[in-house]
Structure 1
Amino acid sequence: MHFHKKVIFLLLTGVILSMPASCVTKTNQQSKQPKGATIFKGTDTNKGGLGHPEIFTSNLPIVIIDTSGKWIRDEPKIPAAMKIIYDKSGGRNSLSSQHIDFKGKIGIELRGKTSLGFPKNQYGVEIQDDEGNDKDASLLQLPAESDWVLNGPYSDKTLMRNYLAYEFSNRIGRYASRTKFVELFLNESSDTITGDKHYVGVYLLIEKIKRGEDRVDIKPLKPADITGGYILKIDKTDRYETYFFTRTGTRLFHVYPK
């Protein structure tokens, strides 16, 4: 498949926003294995289908996740390997490309509540070192951090609502999670990556909301000093989370500090 580049322009209070979109038409390594995760097996060039390096190309970065045959669940995270292919010069990305933006070990889990029942899942991703400890890394030229979200916008058929909301906020100088559109391939079997079997669609790579200089930049709190910033959220009940009610009955969950 080839994904021809389009540009969508939106005008909001004098700000022009451009973003890539995908239009589909049809055309005719191996490294040291990180502890707890498989090496990448490459692409299948012996079978027909999207797995052929010559066939699948995209103007979007390509994310490949391999779980070594384990199924991803909703906690705890399981070890996996992740590779991101991205040609910074603006060229098209393919499964066989040597333009590697990131390659390493991650922990991955399902995320969400209602969306757990969707055919297109959402994932929480933590970059890890060889010992399974969290490690900061820059993905797709975003500031280095360990925690990320792969958002599968199944209920948003435009694929743009989260992107636009976050982008508009950042454009007016109010921090919101930075995002990048990607194409995701997910291998939960022991097979070689092929597009026919492992392509799961367009996703939005999102910075996870957390305290940090390059995320929500608020003063860290200490037991003896509680003057500073707090992060709260409105969400569905989780039995492991603490919360309180406002005077109007709104339930607020603690995100930071825990």
Structure 2
Amino acid sequence: MIIGLASFVLWIAIGDDENFPNRVHQHQQGNSESTTVLDFTEMKTDLPVISMETGGQRIPGTPIINNKDYYYQLSEQGESEIKTAFTLYQENMEPLKLSAMIHYRGHSSRFFDKKSYALRFIDEDNNDKDTSLLGMESDNNWALHGPYLDRSLIRNYMAMNLAGEIMPFAPDVRFVEVFLDHSYEGLYLVMEKVSKGVGRVPIATPEKNSQQTDYLVLVDRPKKMNATLDDFLMDTYKVYPSGTEINYPTNTQYTEERQQFVNQDFSFIAHSIYQIPYADEENQYRKLLNVQAFYDYFIINELFRNVDAGHYSTYFYRDLRGGLTPVVWDFNNSLNNYQVITFDASGFSLTQSIFYEQLLKDQAFVDGLIRRYHHLRKTKLQTERLQQYVDDTIDFLGEAVERNNNRWGDVYDLNHYDQDNHLQPSERNYTSYQEAVDQVKDYLEKRGDWLDTNIDTLYQYSHPSRHSHESIK
């Protein structure tokens, strides 16, 4: 029998004094006194370097437009990924040589001239091979993000690290410089994927013959998914135009019975949240959620004005011993960097997103969210700290920024403007790297000021006058 009842859920509150693992901020480790030794170029750098050799193969994943639709190009052999020789160089250490399956990754970023990559490490028998990169936990799946539309180069690095200080899990990240077939490709960010594993999403492998399972789900564009859940959010169009996909359990851990359990359990939680404000006198939803993680997800995404959060690239995981927990991902479009729409420093972005449109109807939730906001703004998310974080990161990157911009500097010349590689309209784009950095710092300050002044207006969403018609039973 498949069950999804509150009696099987324990909500564990996390107080203001976090007890998460120490976050490694790469730029705080300081530039090495020795440079990274490379055996194929005379380039000097203090950063780690990744070299990938394809042997002349076509890398799969380029979008091919067919009328208004598009599909992803395969390799010459019709494969969705190709095998490459991967080498990681770090200071004076022996190079780490591996085999990796790669393809282009992302959504709109696949149209950029500077590509991002998905990496899957394999052994000599082509089986997945867990590998530790740059001090991060071992796994076989990684993302190699190439900041490009983000001309500052630091949005994902900064936001992921700040989120990692306050949330149970946020992907770990490290800057590297990348060569593809010995051609310099610029500054990249090695990123943990949102996946089950030691040091990643803390969920357990289901017990043998058990239909119940911990799980990880993704809310995103259905076109990117193999199959979507037929869950409460889909049935009620709450998630439209997105869908929900199971990211774990998959492969050998997947069974139809476990898929049904995830569908029912996730639907039960969603249905409980959408009972707010009626039929929820005992705040049952609080037993089903990691409430503080929902606070922190809201705060970090609102501070960075990450307008995709809650709509696309939105992950939730559920440890059956605890509550549903959100995970941050993809800040490339944050801080008014959305390609086709301008978002100034005023207004909220998540108030109409899934779950939050209901959670904010509960005054107790709003009370806790506002308290948590003020606590973080006095500590880890102070404006002064954010400004210094930007400056220190740029100082750490040093000449790598210049090398990257020598490779991709045409983006600053608006005579080379095109809609795939620039913000729209053209006047939103920056003509120098310093302008891009100044925009990040200025926007963060203005955004923080606006939120400081207006965070209490969230009480409007919990006021009975706004939803009293829903309270009639």
TM-score higher than 0.5 here? Answer: yes
**Equivalent residue letter for 1:66:** E
Count of residues paired in the alignment = 194
**In the TM superposition, what is the alpha-carbon distance from 1:18 to its structure 2 partner?**
7.2
Offset from partner CA, 1:137-189 (integer Å, 9 cap, x none): 111111111111100111211111111121112212521110100000001xx
Secondary structure class of the residue paired with 1:135: coil
Partner of 2:58: 71
**In the TM superposition, what is the alpha-carbon distance from 1:107 to its structure 2 partner?**
0.8
Aligned partners of 2:150 and 2:52: how far apart in 1? 23
**In the TM superposition, what is the alpha-carbon distance from 1:113 to its structure 2 partner?**
2.1
The reply on whether 1:212 has 2:220 as its aligned counterpart is no
Secondary structure class of the residue paired with 1:19: helix
112, 131, 146: which one aligns with 1:118: 112
- Structure 2 residues not aligned, in runs of 5+: 1-22, 29-37, 62-78, 251-473
Structure with higher Rg: it is 2
**In the TM superposition, what is the alpha-carbon distance from 1:224 to its structure 2 partner?**
4.5
Secondary structure class of the residue paired with 1:100: coil
| Contact 1:101–1:139 under 8 Å retained in 2 | no
Aligned partners of 1:78 and 1:71: how far apart in 2? 8
Partner of 2:74: none
Secondary structure class of the residue paired with 1:145: coil
**In the TM superposition, what is the alpha-carbon distance from 1:200 to its structure 2 partner?**
0.8
The alignment's TM-score, normalised by the length of structure 1, stands at: 0.68
User: What does 1:40-119 align with in structure 2 at a 5 Å threshold?
Assistant: 43=40, 51=41, 53=42, 56-74=43-61, 76-87=80-91, 99-119=93-113
The reply on whether 1:229 has 2:214 as its aligned counterpart is yes
Structure 1 segments, 4+ long, off by >6 Å, are none
User: What does 1:238-257 align with in structure 2 at a 5 Å threshold?
Assistant: 238=223, 241-244=226-229, 246=233, 247=236, 248-250=238-240, 251-257=243-249
Looking at secondary structure, tell me which structure has more strand per residue. Answer: 1
**In the TM superposition, what is the alpha-carbon distance from 1:100 to its structure 2 partner?**
3.0
**In the TM superposition, what is the alpha-carbon distance from 1:104 to its structure 2 partner?**
1.5
Partner of 2:145: 151
Partner of 2:159: 165
Offset from partner CA, 1:94-137 (integer Å, 9 cap, x none): xxxx5335212111111122111100111010111112111111
Aligned partners of 2:165 and 2:208: how far apart in 1? 36
The reply on whether 1:19 has 2:9 as its aligned counterpart is no
Looking at secondary structure, tell me which structure has more helix per residue. Answer: 2
Identical columns (%): 29
Secondary structure class of the residue paired with 2:27: strand
User: What does 1:174-213 align with in structure 2 at a 5 Å threshold?
Assistant: 174-187=168-181, 193=182, 198-213=183-198
| Contact 1:83–1:100 under 8 Å retained in 2 | no
Comparing 224-233 with 199-208, greater Cα deviation is found at: 224-233
| Contact 2:225–2:245 under 8 Å retained in 1 | no
Aligned partners of 2:90 and 2:196: how far apart in 1? 28
**Equivalent residue letter for 2:173:** T
Partner of 2:122: 128
